[in-house]
Amino acid sequence: MIEHSLQIDFADDRGLQEQLREALVSSILASRFLPEEALPSCRNLSEQLGISRNTVALVYESLRDEGYLVSRPRSGYYVDPRYHPQECEQEAPVIVHQDATVNAPEWGELFNVCPSDYLTITKPAQWMKYDYPFIYGQPDAELFPMEQWREASRKVMGGTRDHHWLHDLVDQDSPMLIEQLRTRVLPKRGIMANSDEILLTLGTQNALSLLSQLLFKTGIKVGVESPVFREAINTFTLQNAQIVPHHVDAEGLALTEASAQCSYFYVTPSHQAPTGIGMSNARRQQLLQHAITHNQIIIEDDFDSDTNIEPHPRPALKANDTCGRVVYISSLSKALSPGLRLGYLVGPAELIDELRALRRLMYRHPPSYIQYQMAHFLAQGHYETYLRRYRENSAYRWSLLKDALDKYLPQCRYNSTRATAFWVEAPAEINTQRLAWRAAHSSVLIEPGVNHFLEENAPQNFFRLGFNAIRPEAIKPGIIKLAEALDKELMRSQQN
């Protein structure tokens, strides 16, 4: 009986002990083992599963130490009686299966808003299975500094240390991480801030949500770039803000007569998202002066502050803010691992205090363990070392993609700024949503650009190419296949 319950297909990318323990715990908790029936001996189970006897013995001993198994001399291992289903004289409760649609609430009528209706930038869930994923916002997982990250974890977990991360910080952040941000990270962007002017967030998207909930009123006007980071617009729309699009030209956001009516501006001046255009110094000064003249607040999203591959990147817009009108947001996890969801926000202490109180009502603070681990990762210099390698690798990939575009897609235009992606303009007759569909059949993944535009008659012929998720050796053949798909779309448009 027990032998039939322990058929395991071992995966090559996981430890044998881990998988055996997982299978045994699952079987114990599911009551698959009969009471008073001994588990197979270490020798028998090792022969049955084709693994070493020591592996089985170590797993059995660990489960015994944790109370799942009991060991009986000269008899073997048995499931602890606490995990046997207890016979009960009382009648078991009758579970009635009902039709969930009977008397169920009409949830659609209860929603105040329907975020699922908003336009967004979609990525296939299994994008990594594409041979040529020119996807944006995903770093190469093979570059992740796993050993250094483990070292930072060991420092947090060390037995002789104060384990502050075990405690609820209520509404505070790790002082060590705040200090690392204040003294190491922000000065590289030209920003000098006090500890009470920094708040940790669950990424930049969360920072935008906190700011819009605290600051935006129904109907308030927010000036934004167009094309734009669509998720920011959706976040602002949730607060019933009125979006005022501003055209982006070769120097960045261009102010208009409507700009004076805005209470806030949301900008990405280092590399405009998604075009990659850097806001010129003249436009930066113009925007800062405009904010002073019209009593406006600027939200600066410096999303690629750590991934910027420009030889001499400009300081953040916040660095030239002498009046406290720029609220700065950025990320610690974009280059390292987006799944870490760790960002930060810099603003006047009065603003940070209220944001902290608002954050407390939502999730109190980002996970303490991740905060302290990141703090040690920064303090030991691992983050800077990783970023140096990351930027060198990104610059190499950028050059490969640029050369491939020049050679195989000469009919397309792109901004040559050293941004974290290429914003490409295909011939006017090309619909890049159709192009993306056709390219996907050749295992090429690109991002159509239409959803980034705010105009009603948005251009259909733009798309974005990322280069960090795709293997360097796959960039050239991927662009060749994309060129083939583009040629077919051009032929199709000519025939129509």
CA atoms within 13 A on the CB side of 93: 3
Sign of the Cα torsion 126, 130, 134, 138 reads positive
Rounding to the nearest 10 degrees, give the CA dihedral for residues 128, 130, 134, 139: 20
Tell me the mean pLDDT in the region 158-173: 82
Percent of the chain having pLDDT more than 90? 73
Predicted confidence at residue 387, as pLDDT, reads 94
CA atoms within 13 A on the CB side of 227: 28
Residues forming a β-bridge with 414:
424
Question: Residue 489: is its pLDDT beyond 60?
Answer: yes
Predicted confidence at residue 36, as pLDDT, reads 82
Q: Mean pLDDT across the chain, nearest whole number?
A: 92
- Where in the sequence of the chain do the CATH 1.10.10.10 domains occur? 2-83
Predicted confidence (pLDDT) per residue in 50-92, tens digit: 999 999 999 999 999 999 999 998 889 999 988 877 644 455 5
CATH class of the domain comprising 2-83: mainly alpha
User: Architecture of 164-377 per CATH?
Assistant: 3-Layer(aba) Sandwich (3.40)
Predicted confidence (pLDDT) per residue in 199-221, tens digit: 999 999 999 999 999 999 999 99
Predicted confidence at residue 89, as pLDDT, reads 47
Percent of the chain having pLDDT more than 70? 95
Predicted confidence at residue 91, as pLDDT, reads 55
Comparing CA positions, the residue from 366, 325, 316 lying closest to residue 344 is 366
Predicted confidence at residue 88, as pLDDT, reads 43
Element (H, E) at 249: strand 242-249
Sheet holding 447-448, edge to edge: 413-414, 421-425, 462-466, 447-448
Predicted confidence at residue 87, as pLDDT, reads 47
- pTM higher than 0.85, yes or no? yes
| Spatial separation of the C-alpha atoms in residues 429 and 441, rounded to whole Å | 21
CB contact set of 434 (below 8 Å; sequence gap of 6+): 489
- Where in the sequence of the chain do the CATH 3.90.1150.10 domains occur? 120-137+385-495
Residues forming a β-bridge with 133:
445
Q: Give the pLDDT band of residue 493 (cuts 50, 70, 90).
A: confident
Pick the CATH number of 120-137+385-495 from 3.90.1150.10, 2.60.40.1120, 3.90.950.10, 3.40.50.450: 3.90.1150.10
Q: Give the pLDDT band of residue 416 (cuts 50, 70, 90).
A: confident
Predicted confidence at residue 6, as pLDDT, reads 74
Lowest mean pLDDT of 126-135, 154-163, 326-335, name the range.
Answer: 154-163
Predicted confidence (pLDDT) per residue in 452-488, tens digit: 999 888 999 999 999 999 999 999 999 999 999 999 9
Element (H, E) at 424: strand 421-425
Lowest mean pLDDT of 26-35, 294-303, 381-390, 396-405, name the range.
Answer: 26-35
Predicted confidence at residue 123, as pLDDT, reads 80
Tell me the mean pLDDT in the region 246-261: 96
| Spatial separation of the C-alpha atoms in residues 315 and 312, rounded to whole Å | 9
First to last CA, the chain: 68
How many degrees, rounded to 5, is the angle at CA 316 between CA 312 and CA 318? 155
Better pLDDT: 35 or 151: 151
CA atoms within 13 A on the CB side of 322: 3
Report strand pairing: 462-466 vs 447-448.
antiparallel
Residue 11 corresponds to which tokens in the numbers above? 């995966």
- Where in the sequence of the chain do the CATH 3.40.640.10 domains occur? 164-377
Predicted confidence at residue 27, as pLDDT, reads 87
